[in-house]
Amino acid sequence: MLKPRTFLRTQDKGVLQAADDIAMSKIEENYTVDLARVGVMWSGILELNGPIPPSEVAAMLSCLDLVRATTLIDSEKHWVGAAAHAAIAAYSDAQDVPDLGSEQDPEKEPHKENPIGFSKPTETSD
pLDDT at 109: 46
Provide mean pLDDT across the span 8-19. 71
77-104 residue pLDDT tens: 999 999 999 999 988 877 765 565 554 4
Report d(CA 40, CA 54) in Å as an integer.
9
pTM: 0.66
Instruction: Please say whether the beta carbons of 51 and 99 come within 8 A.
Output: yes
Whole-Å CA distances, 19 to 41, 43, 115, 126: 26, 28, 29, 56
Report d(CA 111, CA 117) in Å as an integer.
11
Radius of gyration, alpha carbons of the chain? 18
Report d(CA 45, CA 54) in Å as an integer.
16
- pLDDT of 110 above 70: no
Instruction: Please say whether the beta carbons of 88 and 27 come within 8 A.
Output: yes
Report d(CA 38, CA 32) in Å as an integer.
10
Domain ranges of the chain: 14-98
Instruction: Kindly state the DSSP code that residue 21 receives in the 8-state scheme.
Output: H
